[in-house]
Amino acid sequence: MFKIKQALFLIFGITSFIIFYIGILNYVTTQDKNMGLLILIFSAIVSVGTMFATFYISKNLTNPIEILIQQMKEFSQTNSFTASSLDDKGIQELYTLNKNFEDMANKVGKALEKEKQLNLELKEMDTRKTEFMSMISHELKTPIMPIMGYLQLLKKEDLMGKLNEKQLDALNEITISTERLEKLIQDVLTAQKIDLGKLSTEKVNVESKVLVEDAYRAFHPFCQNKDVQLNMSLDGNEVVYSDSDRISQVFSNLISNALAFMPEKNGIIEIGTLNNSENMTFFVRDNGIGIPEDQQKNIFKKFYQVDTSSRRKKEGSGLGLSISEGIIKNLGGKMWLDSTINQGTTFFFDLPKVSVPIENLKSLKTTSQSNHISS
Amino acid sequence: MSKTISLKKAKKQNLNILIIDDNEQITQLISSFLDMSNHNCTVVNDGIEGLEQIKTNQFDSILLDLSMPEFDGYDILNTLEKDDPTQMHKIVILTASSISPYVIQKFRDLGVSACLQKPVDIDQLLSSINDTVN
C-alpha cells in the first residue's frame, strides 16, 4: 500500500530529475554551449515547476480525500460527522464527491437517529406491555381459587346437600371452563416469564427414559379416552441434566397439540428418544393433518395458530409451542419440527447428555418425584 | 348410625385454625369450608394482626399467605424463626406465585409443614391441615 502523495512525488520527482539530467547531459555533450545553457536553464525551470505542480496537485487531490476518509470513519463509528471546510477552489470532482457524501450522510444519520428513537420507544412499550400483561394475569389468577373452591364445595353432598343431575352437569361445565381459563392464565404467565428472562428451572440429573415414561403415564389414560393410541419408543437410556417438571410441561404441550390435530380414526401418537453422540433427542410424533410448509416458520411464534381450513375447533391459546420452545432454549437445547401434509408432524427437542453411567446415580429415580413435593 | 359416628369423629378432631390472607374471598371460602368441617377458624386479613394472634392464642394450624401488603408471610416466618420456632410445624403456606422446589426445600428446612400453590384444592388443604396436627 502506498499513498497518492508518495506516488505523485515518486513519479514527478523521477520525471523532473530525468528532465534536469537530460539538460545537464545535453550541456556537457553539446558543441553549442549557449544553446546548451539555455536548454539546461529551461530544464531546471521545468523540473522546479514540476515539483511545485506536484505539491499543488498533491495538496488539492489528497486533502479532500483525507477529509472524506476521516468523515467516513467518524460516521461509521458515531453515525454523525464534522462538516468539512472545503472550498470550491480545489478539484471539482472531489469537491462534489465530498458534498454529496455529506448530503447523503446527513440523511442517513437523521434516518438512523429516528430509527433509534423509535426502537427505544418500542422497547419501552414492549416492557410496559409485558409488565401490564403480567399484572393482569396475576389479577386474573386471584379469583380462580374462590371459583374452583366453591365449585368443589358445592359438589360435597355431606356439607352442602345433594344436587340434582342438571345442577351437577352445570357445575361440571363451569369447572371445565374455569380449568381452561386457569390453564390459559398460567400459559400467559409462563410466556411472560420467558420474555422477561425470568423463567425458573431446577436442573437435576435425570434419566431420559424416566422423562418419557412420566409423560406416557400422564397421558395414556387421556389418549385412551379420545381413542388415540399412545406409543413409546426408547433409543437407549442416557442421563440428562435438566428440569423434569419443565420437560413434562413441554411433553404435555406437544401431546395436547398432537391430540388437537388427530385424524378422525386411527390416531396414533408416538413419544420417545433418539440417541445422538452429544445430545439426547426427544420427539412427539403424530399421524395428524400436518402443518403446511409456509406456516412452519411461524409455528413457534406467540399466539400463532395454524390455519387448517378444517372445521376443527381451535381450543388452544396459541402459546403452547412458543412456551415449549422457550423452555427448551432455557434448558440449553433446541426445538424443531418435521411435517408432511396429511401424514403427520414430529416435534423434536434436544437435551445435552451428561457423561455419568446410570448405575452410579442410585438416587436418580427419586429425583423426578421429589420435585413434585407439595407444589 | 354411620352419620353420628362420622360426626363424633369430626367433633373429636375439632381444630383451632388461624387463616392469614389479605384476600377476603379466599379467607371466606376457606373459613366456611373449615367451619362446615367442624373446625374453629380465626380469620385475619393482614400480617401484623396475624403475628399478634399467633403470639396471644394457641392454634393447631396456621394457614399463611405469602404476599400481603406491608407485613407479609415472609416477615411472619422470619419473626417466628427468631422468637418462637416451635410454631413452625403448624404452618401451611398458601401462595399465588409459583415457587421453585429450591424455595420449597428452604421452607421445609425452616420446619414449615406444607407449601401449597393457589388455586388450592380444598381437600388437599384439609389434609395438609390434618398433617400439621399429626
Assess if residue B2 is contained within a domain. Answer: no
Domain assignment present for residue B7? The answer is: no
Residue B45 lies in a domain: yes
Closest C-alpha among A271, A264, A193 to residue A226: A264
Question: Measuring CA to CA, which residue among A334, A208, A204, A365 is closest to residue A274?
Answer: A208
Of A211, A208, A213, A210, the residue nearest A239 (C-alpha): A208
R_g over Cα of chain B: 15
- Residue B10 maps to a domain: no
Q: Is the pLDDT of residue A138 over 90?
A: no
Would residue B5 count as lying in a domain?
no
pLDDT of residue A359: 56
Give tens-digit pLDDT for B35-58: 998 999 999 999 999 999 999 999
Instruction: Look at chain B and report how many structural domains it folds into.
Output: 1
Nearest C-alpha in A relative to B26: A146
Q: What are phi and psi of A273, to 5 degrees?
A: -130, 155
The CATH number of the domain holding residue B93 is 3.40.50.2300
What pLDDT, on the 0 to 100 scale, is given for residue B3?
A: 45
Chain B, nearest residue to A244 by Cα: B101
Q: How far apart are alpha carbons A180 and A183 in whole angstroms?
A: 5
> What nine digits make up the cell of A117?
428513537
Choice among A189-198, A253-262, B88-97, B103-112 with the minimum mean pLDDT: A189-198
Asked if B44 contacts B53 with a C-beta cutoff of 8 angstroms, the reply is yes
What residues of A are in contact with residue B29 (Cβ under 8 Å)?
A: 145-146, 149-150, 153
What's the pTM? 0.63
- Confidence class of residue A167 from pLDDT cuts 50, 70 and 90? very high
**Grid coordinates in use for B83?**
422468637
Of B36, B118, B128, the CB nearest to A145: B118
Superfamily of domain A204-307+315-370: Histidine kinase-like ATPase, C-terminal domain (3.30.565.10)
Beta bridge partners of A271: A232, A284
Mean pLDDT within A174-181: 90
Judged by phi (left if over 0) then psi (alpha if -120 to 50, else beta), residue A294 lies in alpha
- The dihedral built from the CA positions of residue A325, A326, A331 and A333, taken in this order, carries a sign that is positive
Range of the domain at B106: 15-133
Closest CA to B85 of B93, B77, B96: B77
| Residue in A148, A370, A375 nearest the CB of B117 | A375
HSE value, Cβ hemisphere, 13 Å, CA-based, for A1 = 0
Q: Tell me the shortest Cα–Cα distance from B68 to chain A, in angstroms.
A: 13
Whether B3 is covered by a domain: the verdict is: no
B82/B65 Cα distance (integer angstroms) = 19
Judge whether residue A196 has pLDDT over 50. Answer: yes
Residues of B in contact with A149 (CB under 8 A): 26, 29-30, 33, 119-120, 122
Which residues of chain A does B119 touch, with a Cβ-Cβ cutoff of 8 Å?
141, 144-145, 148-149, 182
What 3 state SS string does A180-191 have?
A: HHHHHHHHHHHH
CA distance A173 to chain B (A): 18
Least Cα distance to A266 among A232, A305, A293, A226 occurs for: A226
- Identify whether B98 is part of a domain: yes
B1 in a structural domain: no
Give the position of cell 553539446: A30
- B113, three cell numbers: 409443614
pLDDT in the model for residue A185: 85
d(CA A180, CA A316): 9
- Which cell numbers in the block locate residue B34? 373449615
In this complex, do A153 and B128 lie within 8 Å of one another by their Cβ atoms? no
CA distance A34 to A27: 9
Q: Do B123 and A152 touch (CB under 8 A)?
A: yes
Q: Mean pLDDT over residues A324-343, rounded?
A: 91
Which amino acid belongs to residue B87?
A: Q
**Could you tell me if residue A82 is left (phi over 0), alpha (psi between -120 and 50 degrees) or otherwise beta?**
beta
* Alpha-carbon torsion, ordered B58, B60, B66, B70, to 10 deg: -10
Asked which of A30-34, A233-237, B57-61 is least confident by mean pLDDT, the reply is A30-34
Most confident segment among A75-84, A259-268, A341-350, B10-19:
A341-350
Of the partner residues B29, B121, B123, the one whose CB lies closest to the CB of residue A146: B29
Contact A159 B37 (CB under 8 A): yes
In angstroms, what separates the C-alpha of B42 from chain A's closest C-alpha? 18
| A209: closest CA of chain B, how far (Å) | 22
